[in-house]
Structure formats: C-alpha cells, structure tokens
C-alpha cells in the first residue's frame, strides 16, 4: 500500500528539475547542489488537532504542510528546491491522498519545488515535511545578527491566522457568508510563505525570523539570539481590515502580538539600508511595515513601556 | 516548551562538523556539501504500535529512528553526514526525551552524523527523521541496475527482527533469561544499518536495497525497477542460530523471506566483480552471503520452483 500511495503523490507532484539526479522511489534521492551554494534545510510537523483543526480540508493540509516549511526557508533568505514528505494517515484513502497531494503540489509548483522523497505510514494524521534550498555562502539571514539601532519590520499583516482559529473554535461563530470570516479562515488554512521577499532581503536584513509562534515570541527569539532588546510601536502593527472588523481594534492588536501561524517575516535592517531594502522588496512585489527598533537590553517592550512578553506568549503546543 | 525540548536534544547530540555552517536552533540549518559530491536524502517515520511495539524503551526508539534512515543511505552507498528529527510526543517528559536523544546520539556518534534541525510537537508518539549523505556522482547504488546473470547477495542474517516481533506479540512468550530471545529482541529494537558495507559496495554492486519490508518484497522491488527476475536458493538464506533455535528451520525460513525490519542490504553483483566485492567488504569488516541469481522474466522464485511472492509479503502498514 505504501508504494501505491507514494505513486499517487508522485504523479500529482511531478516537477522536473535538472538537479534531481534520482527522484522519489528509491531508497534515497540523489541531488546536485549548485556549485558555490550552501544548502539550507528545515523540518516541520503538522499534527491534526494541534496545528490544524479537525475537519480542515486535505487540500489545505497539504498546502499548509509545505507552506510552514517554505516559510522557514524564506526566513533564511534561501531559494527553495526540494522537499520530502512523511505522511501518516489513519486510513489508506486514495481520494483523500489525492486531494492532499494536490494542495501540496499547488504550492510546490508556485515555487518550483520538487518532491524528491516520501514515506507513507499508518497512524494518527500527521505530516512531516523537510525542505531544502540554496543560499550563497555568508548570506543566510539568521536570527543572531540584529544590531542596536536596527529598524524592525514585518511583512503583510499580523493576527489573521489566530483570528481564523478563534472563528473555528466558535468564540465568534464562523459565518461562511461573511467575507471577513472567510479571509481570516484563509489566513489560517492557506498561509503564504514569503519566499521571494526572503530572497530579496539577502544583503539588506541583519536578522530575520518567520512569525510562527507569534510576534512577541519570535521577535523575542531574535533578541535572545542577537543579545539585544526591541521596542515596538503598537500603533504601527499591521492589522488587516478583516481582523479589526470582526474582533475590534484591541483584540486585533492582542492577536497580532501573541497569535501564531501568520508566517510573515519579521526582520531587522540597519537605518542606512532601509531605502535599499524597500526597493529590493518592491522589485518582487513585497512590502514590509516598520514596527519598532532594536535597543540595548533584552526582551520586547512597547515604546516607553513595560516588557510585553508575559510568562507565555504565542503558541505552546504542549500547553495549548 | 518546544525550545527547551529541542535544547535538551541538541545538548545530547552535539557533534562538531566543519560542514555545518549554522546548526540546529535557527529557522533552517546552513550546510556545505563537499565539492564534487552529490547529496543523498531520505525520510522515514516510526509510529508507536506500527513500527515499534508499545513499551519499547525510548533509547531503542531513538536509535531505531536514525537506524532505519541510515539504512536507506547505506542502500545507496552514501556516506552519512546530517540528520533532522521531527518528534511528536504525547507529553513533554524531559527524562523520556533525554533517553530518546541518547539512543539517537549513540548511533549518530558512531557514524559522525550531526543533528542539524528538529521540531518537537504535541501528539501521538511518532518520529520522522530525514538524513543526508554524500555520494560521488554516478556511484549511487540504485534499485534499477540489476542485470541478468548478476549474483544476489544479502548481508548479515534475515528474519531475526520478525522473530523478535513474534516474541513481543507473545506467540512464543518472551523469556528475558533466554539468550536467543534477547538476541532476537535486539534485532528488532536495535537494527544495525550497514553503512560501511554500503559505502564499500560502490563500484561493485549493480543494484542495492535495504531489507525493510522483507526479502521477497524488497528483492521484488529491485526486480521491478531493473526489469528482471530473480531465483533464490532457499537453502542458502542466512538464518541466525537464535532464530532457528527458537522457531525451528521451517518457520525461520519463512520469517527470513517475508519478515521485515532486518535492515540488511540485498544487492546484485556481476559475476566478474564478486571477488573484488568480497575483498572490499572484508576491508570494512563486512560480510555477505550468496543467495541467488538475477534471471530474465520478472518476480522472485525459488530455484526451479514457483513464484515465491504471494499476494502479500513483508510488512504492510495499512493492513498489519
């Protein structure tokens, strides 16, 4: 059964790349990294009921499993190339697998990613995806490069995925006829990894991370890794009209600070490089909002205010 | 919690490699593939109750999760380098994670493998490991290279892991005082990936696979990929004394043909290369037994006999 399921996935994710010397179907894939490039690799797992709600469509699950991983590559400034998929399924349901593979393949095609290996096993619904990309030596956007005086930016808007999760959880009942509701569900189910933006940030950003655990938590990781602090202009946080419309300004801001799963990029740029950064982003159709500054000290606080990060912030999958 | 668990795993798996430019702890690892080498990558998942029995020790689980993946690299003739670990756990139990990391690290140290990325999530116990190794261009041992007239070999002995599983399942009650019982349990819980043997087979073997689904199933994959058949000398199958002692010759042979999880290498060698192959294996302390021949046609049969593979053989995780 394993082989036939993998064959179905392979058919739906077929994408020719010259650097794939031996693709899915053998004990291992054989791949050629371009000369002079480093390899960036990441792995992330999605578990039903933890990372996506029960009842999420298989197409959205397939998309999201790849999206959260491409977001990790984006946060390094890497160019995506190859993926591996380990799929654990309660039942060998070909139609379900086809839909899941199609969601995965949609996003893979968009970024030219080839599926080069996979494993299907029996068990509770769970997907681990490993992704591989290329980055020129010395140009990876790590978390440890933020400097005092850097300007803090974030792409897109924040809090939408957490808003979508609230709708799913019924705190505000989901209304499929409401355009704002649908927009927030899409933010949760179909995150957009900022791949081209991440690549455009090479040479401009000093530090970068993707917002998966929530802005406070993730900017906190940058601060900890860089040995700096940060202050945020809370009025500058980019909130979508849908989020403000459904939850009001105060709750929207809270979701933007602590909600997870947005998969936007948060990055820091030296003041002298801000203009060039904006120009580089504009070239790829990207956009980022200035939300704060890197300071001495540690932790994240509001401008002139107290530390924002409480004992817990963002997602904590062991204490949801 | 995720970060602290990953930190514990990182501490226990610390291994310096010059080619790891940025290790575990950022959005992605940054790695340098040696010039002139191709990259071999594989991913495999272990689910509790499917790939290892409930009650398996965390050290054995950690070991086995890496072992089954290194076995995939061995089957390609690749030199292992890096691993990623996606760990899903029902509870954030630090002692359990320490033990699991220690089992993983024991085997990783033996082969100089660095853990370069990880993800810990909440859910049913499940581990996905992705491994990366190097292989010179054109020398990967794929499944499709078997030629009519090739001699079929297998490393080590077969059926032991399936025998161990029978003991766990209580068909013959496990007796911890019985040395043969313990030996079979070890075959199940602590498989030995034939990494050095796989590397030594480069340039000697025409096709290679690791025996994870059972000899008939896996040799069948080689035949299908190569467009050939195979005949086996059933009297030549290497059976351990422990397996024959506990189950008798007939059942031992059946387990050797259809049992999974042995993680030995099955490979084919042109007759003119057999001597050089044996010499290359001897240099790394390896050993292989001649068990058959590649023939025209398709499928696997006993010498002069009927096809051996029934409708089902080996492990079928969706219909266990």
DSSP state letter for A34: P
CB B129 within 8 A of CB B118: no
pLDDT at B38 over 90: yes
Half-sphere exposure of B77 (CA within 13 A, CB side): 24
pLDDT band at B11 (very low <50, low <70, confident <90, very high): confident
Which CATH code of 1.10.238.10, 3.90.650.10, 1.20.120.530, 3.30.70.260 fits the domain covering B151-302? 3.90.650.10
Cα–Cα dist B293/B298, whole Å: 12
Classified as helix, coil or strand, A139 is coil
Q: Which CATH architecture has domain A2-135?
A: 2-Layer Sandwich (3.30)
CA distance linking residue A238 with residue A257, whole number of Å: 10
- Inter-chain CB proximity A76 and B31 less than 8 Å: no
Domain with CATH 3.90.650.10 in chain A: 151-302
Give CA–CA dist A53/A36, Å, rounded. Answer: 42
Question: Closest to B78 (Cβ–Cβ): which among A28, A47, A124?
Answer: A28
Please say if the pLDDT value at position B290 is more than 60.
yes
| Phi, psi dihedral angles at A109 (to 5 degrees) | -60, -40
pTM as predicted: 0.93
Q: What is the ipTM of this complex?
A: 0.93
Q: From the candidates A17, A25, A28, A197, which should be mutated to test the interface with B, based on the most B CB atoms within 10 A?
A: A28
Of the candidates A30, A49, A84, the beta carbon closest to that of B130 is on A84
Q: What is the mean pLDDT of each run of 10 residues along chain A (320 residues)?
A: 67 87 94 97 93 92 97 98 95 90 95 93 92 98 97 97 92 91 96 98 98 95 97 96 96 94 97 98 97 96 76 39
Per-residue pLDDT for B172 more than 80? yes
Cα separation, A308 vs B31, in Å, equals 35
The boundaries of every CATH 3.30.1330.10 domain in chain B are 2-135
B3, B25, B50 ranked by CB distance to A121: nearest: B50
The helix or strand, by DSSP H or E, that contains position A232, with its residue range, turns out to be strand A229-232
What distance in Å separates the CA atoms of residue A135 and residue A79, rounded to the nearest whole number? Answer: 6
What is the predicted pLDDT for the residue at A4?
A: 67
Residue of B9, B28, B50, B97 to mutate when probing chain A, most A C-beta within 10 A: B28
Nearest-10 crossing angle of helices A160-169, A249-258: 110
Higher pLDDT, A314 or B95: B95
| A30 touches B135 (CB < 8 A) | yes
């Amino acid at each position: 059964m394993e082989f036939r399921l993998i064959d179905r996935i392979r058919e739906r994710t077929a994408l020719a790349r010259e650097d794939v010397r031996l693709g899915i179907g053998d004990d291992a894939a054989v791949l050629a990294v371009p000369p002079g490039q480093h390899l960036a690799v990441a792995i992330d797992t999605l578990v039903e009921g933890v990372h996506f709600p029960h009842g999420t469509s298989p197409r959205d699950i397939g998309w999201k499993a790849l999206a959260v991983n491409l977001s990790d590559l984006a946060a390094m400034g890497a160019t995506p190339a190859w993926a591996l998929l380990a799929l654990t399924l309660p039942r060998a349901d070909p139609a379900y697998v086809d839909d899941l593979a199609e969601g995965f393949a949609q996003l893979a095609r968009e970024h030219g990613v080839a599926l080069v290996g996979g494993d299907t096993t029996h068990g509770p619904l769970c997907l681990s995806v490993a992704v591989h990309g290329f980055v020129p030596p010395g140009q990876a956007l790590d978390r440890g490069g933020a400097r005092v005086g850097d300007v803090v930016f974030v792409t897109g808007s924040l809090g939408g995925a957490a808003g979508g999760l609230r709708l799913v959880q019924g705190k505000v009942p989901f209304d499929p006829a409401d355009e704002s509701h649908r927009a927030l569900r899409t933010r949760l189910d179909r995150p957009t990894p900022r791949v081209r933006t991440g690549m455009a940030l090479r040479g401009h950003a000093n530090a970068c991370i993707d917002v998966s655990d929530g802005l406070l938590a993730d900017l906190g990781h940058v601060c900890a890794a860089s040995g700096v602090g940060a202050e945020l202009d809370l009025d500058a946080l980019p909130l979508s009209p849908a989020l403000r419309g459904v939850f009001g300004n105060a709750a929207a801001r809270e979701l933007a600070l602590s909600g997870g799963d947005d998969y936007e990029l948060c990055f820091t740029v030296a003041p002298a490089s801000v203009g060039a950064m904006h120009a580089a982003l504009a070239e790829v159709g990207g956009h980022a909002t200035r939300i704060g500054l890197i300071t001495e000290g540690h932790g994240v606080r509001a401008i002139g205010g107290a530390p924002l990060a409480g004992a817990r912030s963002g997602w904590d999958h062991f204490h949801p």
